[in-house]
Structure 1
């Protein structure tokens, strides 16, 4: 196909896409670029104890972010990229737990291209429910969408980080224990 025919073909495809029906955000089915997505190493685990003890008998909750699923789409009106995340949580109920539910919060932070400055940060509460006689659950039902403004090249160079929202004591425990 000649060089002049390509722009004409692209214009024809755009014209056909505009005919009737819902307006398409992505008439050429282009793949939206995803930013680099990862876990915050020091905040990928959450261990809670009842009282000052730190042994198995005082364990209320032990959770980890086991991974995530991600999908990126172009946002409406060229306003950036929509990133849909589904973190995967593995949660264990400890002997000191008082109920069949565990509540915790995780955060999603968008970093700049250098990875040094937080551009946005949002917290999301989670409630894990334990069936009878099941001390562990795996939950991947949580799905959130965040919009990262900017053109696709800018968005691709950003980082999205996922981690638990921890107290200072929980963070200190993770750092002392090291990665699992």
Structure 2
């Protein structure tokens, strides 16, 4: 008989304790939504040639690089969810060309925040990532600096109200080359 009473008491205690949890404020661990994040097709690649050299001469190529991808995280900046913090970190693949001088390559790139229709640039941040090539190494990977954006929410604005674009910063000639050959 004593065993039944102890078991019943233990069960009643557990039920009582589990009921207490219902009185606490629930914790919202939901993932914050990210806006659309994309790599600009025209700015995904950079092929740089020695100044004054023809574009068809591969021996004049200094470097060939591309945005290989990115990592992104999004979280709310406050409990009221009025601001969304977006962090985007690009990854680059680079090749040192036959005309390269030195063992490093500086890759200029930018992140741009636009409205959902891509009709207005709301924020633009520029960066430079240095890629190092070891001795006798022609290819290298690098991770860029993390771009941080704060997006206001509410009043009809959600994460879907924005687009984040990544691109290499190209000269007019480099951009024309990309548009001529198309995405790779």
TM-score, length-scaled by structure 1:
0.81
- Tell me, what secondary structure is at the counterpart of 2:25? helix
Which 5+ residue runs of structure 1 have no aligned equivalent? 1-8, 15-26
Deviations 1:112-166 (A, max 9, x none): 0212221111101111001111111112353232212223952233110000111
* Ranges of 4+ aligned residues in structure 1 off by more than 4 Å: none
1:90-169 correspondence runs (5 A): 90-140=93-143, 142-151=145-154, 153-169=157-173
1:8-47 correspondence runs (5 A): 12-13=24-25, 27-47=27-47
Asked whether the equivalents of residues 80 and 155 of structure 1 are also in contact (C-alpha less than 8 Å), the reply is no
Aligned residues: 160
Which 5+ residue runs of structure 2 have no aligned equivalent? 1-21
Asked whether the equivalents of residues 80 and 148 of structure 1 are also in contact (C-alpha less than 8 Å), the reply is yes
What is the deviation of 1:172?
Answer: 0.7
1:48-63 correspondence runs (5 A): 48-52=48-52, 53-54=54-55, 55-63=57-65
State the match for 2:4 in structure 1: none
Larger radius of gyration between Structure 1 and Structure 2: 2
TM-score, length-scaled by structure 2:
0.79
Asked whether the equivalents of residues 47 and 61 of structure 2 are also in contact (C-alpha less than 8 Å), the reply is yes
Across the aligned residues of Structure 1 and Structure 2, the Cα RMSD in angstroms comes to 2.1
